[in-house]
Amino acid sequence: MKKILSFLLCASMLGCCVLSGCGNTASSESKSSSKAEESSKSDSEKTEDPVKSGKAVASTDKYRNVYQIFTQSFCDSNGDGIGDFKGIISQLDYLNDGNPGGGDDLGVDALWMTPVNPSESYHKYSVEDYYNVDESFGTLDDFDTLVKECHKRGINVILDLVLNHISYKNPLFLEACEEVKKGNLDGKAKYFEFHEKGYYSDEVNTISVGDYVCEANFSPTMPEWNLNSDKTKDEFKKIAKFWLDRGVDGFRLDAVKYFDNKHTKGVDFLKWFVDSCRKIKNDVYLVGEDWDDDFQIKEFYASGIDSLFAFKFAQSFGEIVDSINMSAGQNLAKKFTSYDKKMSSANPEYINAVFLSNHDQTRIGNALKSKGLAGEKFAANVYMLVPGNSFTYYGEEIGMIAPNTDSDKYYRLPMVFDSEKLPDITVDGASTVEAPRYGGVKQQLADKNSLLNHYRRIINVKLQNPEIARGRITSQQTFNDPAVAGYYIEKDGAKLLVIHNFSSDKEKTLEITNDMIPDAKVCADFLGSADDAHLAIRDGKITLPAYSSVVIRSAA
């Protein structure tokens, strides 16, 4: 049989040579390679999408795909031009309908809400009352309803908590100022960083009150708490309990980097706060903002905090975008691997917090615009397929961009649910004037090739393979190609191999040996286009198209 086949093949090749004249070797090569492509294509077309048959299981622990909401900009329920709690509630079925892996939802299972406390600032990071919500967002009852509705759908609520500074309008600070003016530094002044003039060599970042100054690193409207005082600590315990008792699942701690000052060791204070919160709610989730280098982040992990944002991988000039720009996947895999080792050595229980951008940074769509839709999908693969919690900034999943990068408010423009009905919300005077490039949520849900549907797929795969979030990167797998990132994630005996092809235009054929993963099988692929054929390992090889990713695990 075989012999007859090869004879026929010879004859047909001969015929082909005669017809084409065999004059040009290159063209006959390209012909045979295009034939091979055709046959591999028809083979792949038979490959079922492995994700279709997988089973998504809702997360019940701290490992989550988090969605960051800037309440003012998300959804306005009463037409006053300000997003609010009822607006968020009306969109919860979009975020997570409570049916893991099914339905028309994004599938995120935690919200990080930037501050909701009363504040004159639109961003609310200068808190005037830690025990209430801003009335433009709704009432405490509305907030409680939001938490309840989130929990119904399996969504955790992580509240932004500002412990570094307070609003200069907060009554506690105003009372302290009155006392300080009279020369009394032992009363309410103890809550804050009040010192005699001259205490700071540089008084630029201070507020002057009588003969004294109060530290204020961010703004003269935001004086700093004294984190080394028992009075402050008692107050913070009360604040944490107030919100945890209302059902909040955790806190995002603002400006952790600034906890360090002349007489406070930030990590000691952070450890105290983490321990105190765990006494109130033992499975509380805490993630800190330490916009700093590995060295500092590692120091703060020694506090036992669950997570600190991995800033170096984020932002338009961070490691992920850089690596995509330079097609330098292998190098990025090395950095992911060493980061995981470094931080887990400081806190073995640490949960990495990986993201592309947040409310303080130009939207990632701006940085990735030149890479096209496939490049934007690829960036999502890269940050969401490392162990830990992913943080998706609202609107990132529909590819929102900042129309202007001069000021923060342009990174915080309203979410677009329907590009044919632009939101009537203004953010510090700025509003949406143009429909987003790829359409709003409604348009993208209807398009199987959309960025939004790509995000939905990644989250679904993470719910099907819980080890991706919960494992550790145990080692890097190189493929002798600087464009290819490969790393192993291991958890409780399971071993997964994640591979990304960082090339913008070249497919990569890679050898997958039994030593890497015994009985290897593709459990999920992430392609630039939903129309592309699904990936499979054939004869120990797999071919990844440009800007694609794959997760491989043992079939057994």
Residues that bind Ca ion (CB under 5 A): 76, 78, 80, 82, 84, 97, 99, 103, 105
Q: Which of 128, 160, 249, 254 is catalytic?
A: 254
Query: What's the closest the beta carbon of residue 106 comes to Ca ion, in angstroms?
Result: 8
Cα angle at 324 between 309 and 355, to 5 degrees?
20
Separate counts of helices (H) and strands (E) for the chain: 18, 20
Closer residue to Ca ion (CB): 33 or 60: 60
For 390, the 3-state DSSP assignment is strand
Closer residue to Ca ion (CB): 426 or 548: 426
Q: Which of 224, 260, 289, 306 is catalytic?
A: 289
Residue pair 159/116 in contact by the 8 Å Cβ criterion: yes
Closer residue to Ca ion (CB): 24 or 78: 78
Q: In what order do the strands lie in the sheet with 520-526?
A: 472-476, 484-491, 494-501, 548-554, 520-526
Query: What's the closest the beta carbon of residue 78 comes to Ca ion, in angstroms?
Result: 5
Closer residue to Ca ion (CB): 94 or 502: 94
Residue pair 136/180 in contact by the 8 Å Cβ criterion: no
Residue pair 270/256 in contact by the 8 Å Cβ criterion: yes
428's tokens: 């510090």
Query: What's the closest the beta carbon of residue 83 comes to Ca ion, in angstroms?
Result: 6
Query: What's the closest the beta carbon of residue 524 comes to Ca ion, in angstroms?
Result: 17
Q: How far, in Å, CA of 103 to CA of 369, rounded? A: 29
Residue pair 192/178 in contact by the 8 Å Cβ criterion: no
Closer residue to Ca ion (CB): 414 or 440: 414
Which residues lie across from 353 on neighbouring strands?
309, 389
For 214, the 3-state DSSP assignment is strand
Query: What's the closest the beta carbon of residue 488 comes to Ca ion, in angstroms?
Result: 29
Q: Known catalytic residue: 319?
A: no
Query: What's the closest the beta carbon of residue 118 comes to Ca ion, in angstroms?
Result: 15
Place of tokens 């939905």: 456
Residue pair 486/333 in contact by the 8 Å Cβ criterion: yes
Q: Known catalytic residue: 254?
A: yes
Q: How far, in Å, CA of 122 to CA of 529, rounded? A: 39
Length reported for the chain:
556
Q: Would you tell me the crossing angle of helices 2-20 and 25-45 to the nearest 10 degrees?
A: 130
Cα angle at 102 between 99 and 105, to 5 degrees?
80
DSSP-assigned letter for residue 230: H
Query: What's the closest the beta carbon of residue 81 comes to Ca ion, in angstroms?
Result: 7
Q: How far, in Å, CA of 395 to CA of 460, rounded? A: 19
Closer residue to Ca ion (CB): 84 or 376: 84
Closer residue to Ca ion (CB): 76 or 525: 76
Among all residues, which ones are annotated catalytic? 254, 289
